[in-house]
Each structure stands twice: as C-alpha cells, then as structure tokens.
C-alpha cells in the first residue's frame, strides 16, 4: 500500500466519517486549516451527509430523499474529500488505511485525526432477518421502504391468493424507540392515504404491528407520554406488542416471542419487516490503537480528545458523535455518557472544532463539552407528534410543529432547508403524494424488454423463487 499521488502533501487533519458531526467539523475548519498551510481530508463511503432524523419523513413522503442529504463536494470545497472507508487507524504511525470503492487499499498519513465514523444498525442473530429485513439508517433504505410499501399495496390489490394478500398487507416494525415509533406512524399515514385511493384494498385488511422487547416504548419521554402514544397508535389501528421480540423471520414468516416466559407468542407471514432496534458504534473503532470501551466506542475526554489509557490524552487524536463515548457532565446521560443523537453530535462537533483550533493554532481556550438536553420531539404522521422540549410536555399539532421546526433548523445548509420547506408547503396545499414508482429495484427491465433479453426479477420474485426451491 502506498499514498496515491492525487492526495495533498500538506499537513493533514483527517476526519474519519462525513456524517453529521464530521461534516460540521470539516465545514468549520476547512478554510482555517487551509489558510494555515494544511488540508482537511474527509473520508466516507458515501459522497454526502445524511440527516437521519428526517428519514421517517422520507418514508412518509413528506420530504424527497435527495433533500435530506448534503453533498460533500458542493459544501466542502476547501476540503479534500475521499470516497472510501477507513478500515484501520494506526495513530502510533499517524497513518489511516482507506479502502476505495474498487477494493484497493492505500494509506493516508495525517498530522491530526478526528474520529466521527458514527453508528451502524445494531442487528441480532435472528434467522431470516438479514434476508427479509430493512433498516432505517440511510436515505436509500428510507426510499426503498416507501417504494416497497406502495408496491405491496398495488400488488395486493390484484392478488387472489388469500395468504399472499395477507402477507403483502402486513407490515412489521421492530423497535419501539423514537426511530421505530416515528417510522410506524409515518407508515400508517402513508398506507391509509394510499388505501383510501384504491377501491380494491380495504383498510380492515391491513395489519401494522410495532414490536418492542421492553415493557414500554420511547424511553426518551415520560411514562405517561409513552402510554399516551401507545393508545394513540392503537386508535390508528396499529398493534403495539410490548414485552415481545422477533425470534425468527425465515422465509418471511414472523415468529414473535413473549419476553416474559420466552414462549412463542404468534406466527404470521409479512412481506415488510423494518428493523429499528437500536444502533452500534461503527466497527472501525475496534480497528484503531485507541482505547475502546465495552460497547465498542472510542474513549474520549470531555474536551473531545482521545484518551491515552493512562489518565491523559493522545496528542493529535480527537473524536465525537456516536462512535465515541463522550462523558455527559450534566449527569443526565445513561451510564454517564451522552446519548447518540443529532442534538449532541452537532454541538460536540462545534466544541471539538473550537478545541482543535485552541490546541493546534492557539486560538482561544480548550473547554469541556457540556450540554443539557433541550428535550425531544417526535413526529407521528401529519400534524401528530409527542415531545418534551425544554421540559414541557406537548402532543398533537404542537409537537408536530416543534419537531419540524427544530429539525429544519438543525438541517445543514440553507438550500436544503428551503427545499424541505417548499415540499411541506406543497403537501399542505395539495395533500400527501402516494404515487407508486414501480420497478425501482429493477430499473433496467424496460430496456431489457425492448432488447428482447431476460428480465431481472424483483425483490419479491427472488424471495418467492428461493422459498419455492426450499420447498
């Protein structure tokens, strides 16, 4: 492995991960580092940052998927942007190993490094989950889920086989945190809208289930608010199955397990399985020579410097966001650490940038990261929501508007805010768009059909063929 000749020879501030935290740090530091004779290098497998709190709204069709991402090349013009994955960091050598899209690996030397690789979906070893489930960490997943929901409704409208129809009209979301509850709320509203426009499908045929292993949902809000959300979801026809886990999903047959006695609770077929049961720190954390705690996160101090394992800090090593265990000096965080959310990631990024300038360039003083949560708000569909901003319990339209207001403010770049707001206005005036764009998983079939060659099977055609071969 060797340094590719295209990379800048200047002293490098390497940012591992161009997500919410990494993007903000790069945007804040790129010009100052450049003016000082260095270069900011951002490495990420994707060419854009995704604002994940808006992904449920992409599922619901409120926001175009393209508008919840921010292009690195457009907004990090003074940075060196590399599309690839950091697979190893050797701070003792001040070198990171990057794997490009073609699989080729090369080394990138650096002066300083910032670990902001974020988190990935936490998945348990459940049979069939990998084959039949879909997560909600990327804009691609959100758009695919929306398309799949509408495609299943369209397909079901012409199905004569009763079991196939039931599977097509059954939707399961596993995980009762904010992501799961927001997603199932948006799914229900989208499904209800689409069904109301199709005379061949009845709402009574649709089954939507939220599965949560704990005895309550949404630990981010009070118990009475969580209980109120459960009743709200039930009123909308959503089954909320508490103390229940997914035990098996082989061949699309959902086996639900009662967490109290580990007995089988129910078994049924479902074509749509959404997994929102938590996140885990990016695995690159374990491929570094930094100290890593039991949950796989890099250990950092309140000043967002990586610990040296001996009570001090490593010179030239920084980190924040979901890949790091950042102390919560307010005492509010579970286990004494900040929770993995965009609110903390954005503010940590700002403090890290300021501290970096203080250490490397002598601008200002190093300060500890201290942030008391402003509260949380969740959208549950159009003009529906719940939250506790600034400690005030709210629900309904007030929570919905607070949710949109905060996240629109937190969305980076003015152009994306404008595009999102314009979409919201259009939806308010003309109603929810439930157009089904068919064949998204096989876009070349129109040309293949014209060319007279074999067509590519869709996702569900492949699944059915696999199930038939097993039988």
Which CATH number covers residue 425? Answer: 3.50.50.100
Residues lower than pLDDT 70 in the chain = 1-5, 467, 471
Closest CA to 321 of 355, 285, 367, 365: 285
Residues 261 and 296 in one domain: no
Confidence (pLDDT) at 4: 60
- Does residue 367 lie in a domain region? no
- Same domain flag for 138 and 226: yes
* 18 plus 103 within the same structural domain: yes
Give the domain-ending residue among 361, 395, 412.
Answer: 361
Q: Do β-strands 133-134 and 170-174 pair in parallel, antiparallel, or remain unpaired?
A: unpaired
How far is the C-alpha of 101 from the C-alpha of 46, rounded, in Å? 10
Closest by Cα among 334, 335, 327 to 307: 327
Q: What was the pLDDT predicted at 1? A: 47
Alpha helices in 372-471 (DSSP H): 397-410, 414-430, 445-451, 459-470
* Residue 466 forms part of a structural domain: no
> Is residue 270 domain-shared with residue 297, that is, in the same domain?
no
Q: Are residues 199 and 302 in the same domain?
A: no
| Same-domain check for residues 225 and 339 | no
d(CA 26, CA 14): 9
For residue 351, the Cα-to-chain-centroid distance in whole angstroms is: 23
Residue 385 phi/psi, 5-degree rounding, is 180, 180
**Cβ(391)–Cβ(403) under 8 Å?**
no
**Rounded distance between C-alpha atoms, residue 424 and residue 306, angstroms:** 41
> Could you tell me the two tokens for 168?
């097509």
Residue 469 domain-assigned (yes or no): no
Number of domains present in the structure of the chain: 2
Q: Which has the closest alpha carbon to 273: 360, 205, 172?
A: 172
Based on the fold, state whether residues 160 and 236 are members of the same structural domain.
yes
Do 249 and 210 share a structural domain? yes
Three-state DSSP at 48 gives strand
Is 38:13 a contact under the CB 8 Å cutoff? yes
How many angstroms from the chain centroid is the CA of residue 283?
16
- The reply to whether 186 and 243 lie within a common domain is yes
DSSP secondary structure code for residue 214 in this structure: S
Parent domain of 221:
129-277+375-430
């Amino acid at each position: 492995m060797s340094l590719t000749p295209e990379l800048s020879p200047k002293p490098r501030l390497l940012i591992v991960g161009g997500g919410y935290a990494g993007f903000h740090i790069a945007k804040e530091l790129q010009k100052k580092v450049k003016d000082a004779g260095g270069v900011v290098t951002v490495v990420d497998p994707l060419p854009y940052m995704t604002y994940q709190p808006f992904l449920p709204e992409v599922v619901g069709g409120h926001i175009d998927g393209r508008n919840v991402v921010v292009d690195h090349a457009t907004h990090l013009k003074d940075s060196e942007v590399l599309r690839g994955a950091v697979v190893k960091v050797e701070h003792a050598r001040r070198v990171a190993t990057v794997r490009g899209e073609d699989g080729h690996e090369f080394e990138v030397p650096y002066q300083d490094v910032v670990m902001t690789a974020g988190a990935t979906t936490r998945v348990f070893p459940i049979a069939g989950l990998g084959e039949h489930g879909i997560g909600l960490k990327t804009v691609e997943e959100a758009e695919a889920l929306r398309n799949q929901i509408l495609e299943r409704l369209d397909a079901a409208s012409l199905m004569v086989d009763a079991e196939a129809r039931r599977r097509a009209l059954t939707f399961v979301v596993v995980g009762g945190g904010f992501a799961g509850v927001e997603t199932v709320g948006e799914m229900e509203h989208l499904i209800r809208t689409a069904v109301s426009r199709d005379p061949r499908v009845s709402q009574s045929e649709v089954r939507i289930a939220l599965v949560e292993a704990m005895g309550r949902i949404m630990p981010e809000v009070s118990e009475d608010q969580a209980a109120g959300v459960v009743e709200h979801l039930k009123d909308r026809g959503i089954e909320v199955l508490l103390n229940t886990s997914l035990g098996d999903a082989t061949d699309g047959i959902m086996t639900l397990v009662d967490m109290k006695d580990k007995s089988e609770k129910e078994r049924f077929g479902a074509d749509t399985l959404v997994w929102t049961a938590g996140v885990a720190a990016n695995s690159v954390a374990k491929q570094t020579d930094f100290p890593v705690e039991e949950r796989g996160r890099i250990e950092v101090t309140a000043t967002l410097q990586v610990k040296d394992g001996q009570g001090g800090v490593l010179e030239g090593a920084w980190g924040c966001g979901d890949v790091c265990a950042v102390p919560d000096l307010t005492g509010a965080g579970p286990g004494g650490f900040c929770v993995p959310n965009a609110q903390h990631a954005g503010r940590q990024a700002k403090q890290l940038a300021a501290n970096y300038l203080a250490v490397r360039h002598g601008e200002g003083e190093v300060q500890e990261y201290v942030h008391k949560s402003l509260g949380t708000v969740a959208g549950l569909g159009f003009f529906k929501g719940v939250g506790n901003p600034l400690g005030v319990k709210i629900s309904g339209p007030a929570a919905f508007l607070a949710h949109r207001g905060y996240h629109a403010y937190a969305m980076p770049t003015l152009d994306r805010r404008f595009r999102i707001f314009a979409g919201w206005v259009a939806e308010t005036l003309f109603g929810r768009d439930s157009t089904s764009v068919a064949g998204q998983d096989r876009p070349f079939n129109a040309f293949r059909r014209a060319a007279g060659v074999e067509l590519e099977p869709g996702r569900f055609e492949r699944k059915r063929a696999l199930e038939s071969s097993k039988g």
